[in-house]
Structure 1
Amino acid sequence: MSKTRIIEAAVDLFGERGYAATTLRDIAARCDMRAPSIYAHFPNKEALLTAAREAVAREHREHFEAIAERVAGLPPLERLRSLLTAVLDYYSDRPTLVRFHLRTTALMAERGFAELEEDFRAEEDLLEETIRHAYEQGVADGSMRAGRAEALAALVLCLMDGLFLQLAYYEPAEHRRRFELVWTQVETALAVNGEPR
């Protein structure tokens, strides 16, 4: 059984049941193997959790880099919307990943996992750079109201985090409706003369 399959099973089960409620035996059963076989790859459950978080963080970085590249040539306001939409679609299509994040982030922060903060900052830095660049271009071409790029980046990242959390509570149609309402407000706030161009 591959290490990758064990990590995938851990992500699924930690997301479904939580870290405390999931045993190595549960993970082994999901992989059609015996629990002692896991020890060939991981010394304990905490090491498996760390490996799972690292694998998820790596996937995020790769995906967010691809999103940033894909939206780079769009007009500034459209770039911001496309960035938000692509990130939300990524999570909407991966409910297990959302549950894994929600269940394990607080646990790992509680335990003082410095690498969790580093991974989070790396993902956020990439998104922030994309947001700031789009905003600076929008101000330069006159399609967006001048203000502080740092403040807009913080606003969009907070919006993204809030929408991420709401994936756990709202049906997809309602989640999308709420996104559209919020996006209309952001677009209006950014627009020159209060009207999007």
Structure 2
Amino acid sequence: MTANAILQAACAQFAGKGFEGASLAGIAQEVGIKKQSIATYFPKKEDLFMAAFHEMARHYYEFLEQLYGELIVAPVETKLREIVHKNYYYRVDHPVLTAFYKMAVQFPPPFFQDLLEEQIAVMEQRSAVLYKAIFEEGMSTGVIRQQQTDSLLSAYYCLLDGIAMQMFFYKQEEFEQRLEDIWGIFWAGIKQS
């Protein structure tokens, strides 16, 4: 329980203040423990940051796998569209995890730079399995025109990443309309004519 509470408080601190600005004292205060107690679970601040990043990634994987399970029998267009929309709503519903990921990726602490590249690669490998299966299903059933699966995957990641950035600039209602437009143009570009 305490380790989980420490991770949640750490995610919030790292999300709002970055690695350098986050303080173990602030994290401990938020959890209601002494600063030294954090070392019982996480010997160094770097260990806490890594554990928080892994927890954020685990949470997202669970969401993605559950979503994919819910969509398994849906048509290809519905699967791809719902993943885009549900990713957006996941970010809306989990602002701390979203902000932590954004901060970690855009302003990684020096010790984390190489590890970040490895972690992003792992995250992409896990999600790529799901996305590629949908693209391959779409091409084999004639819903998506024939093209390189890796090219489709690259475009889809750019779509998801672009949405993740753009959502910070608009009010939710306005962005939801933009999301419909974005999806329509993307789908028109990959579907079979």
Query: What's the TM-score once normalised by structure 2's chain length?
Result: 0.89
Give structure 2 stretches of 5+ with no counterpart.
Answer: none
1:71-102 superposed Cα distances (whole Å, 9 cap, x missing partner)? 22111111111111222211111111111111
Map of 1:96 onto structure 2: 96
- Is the contact made by 1:68 and 1:127 (CA closer than 8 Å) also made in structure 2? no
The range that moved more, 7-16 or 122-131, is: 122-131
Distance 2:111 2:170 in 1: 30
Are residues 1:63 and 2:63 paired? yes
Say whether the 8 Å CA contact 2:56–2:101 is kept in structure 1.
Answer: no
Q: Which amino acid aligns with 1:167?
A: M
* Structure 1 gap ranges (5+): none
Mapped pair 1:190 → 2:190: yes
Report the Cα distance in structure 2 between the residues aligned to 1:90 and 1:144, rounded to whole angstroms. Answer: 26
- Map 1:101-180 to 2 at 5 A: 101-108=101-108, 110-180=110-180
TM-score by length of 1: 0.88
- 8 Å CA contact 1:145–1:190 kept in 2: the answer is yes
Residue 33 (str. 1) matches residue 33 (str. 2): yes
Alpha-carbon distance in structure 2 between the residues aligned to 1:160 and 1:109: 24
Q: Kindly provide the CA deviation profile for residues 12-48 of structure 1, in whole angstroms up to 9, marking residues without a partner as x.
A: 1111222222211110110112212212222221111
1:29 partner SS: helix
Amino acid at match of 1:74: A
Distance 1:75 1:167 in 2: 27
CA distance in 2, matches of 1:134, 1:156: 11
How many residues are matched? 193
CA contact (8 A) 1:15 1:97 kept: yes
CA deviation vs aligned residue, 1:118-142 (integer Å, no higher than 9, x gap): 3322332233222222222222222
**Aligned CA-pair RMSD:** 1.9
Q: Do the aligned partners of 1:7 and 1:48 also contact (CA within 8 Å) in 2?
A: yes
More helix by share: 2
**Secondary structure of residue in 1 paired with 2:20:** coil
In structure 2, what residue type is equivalent to 1:132?
Answer: K
Letter aligned with residue 185 of structure 2: Q
Q: Which amino acid aligns with 1:150?
A: D
Please say if residues 15 and 96 of structure 1, whose CA atoms lie closer than 8 Å, have aligned partners that are also in contact. yes
1:11 is matched with which residue?
11
Q: How far 1:176 sits from its partner (Å)?
A: 1.7
8 Å Cα contact 1:9-1:30 kept in structure 2: yes
> Which AA in structure 1 matches 2:24?
L
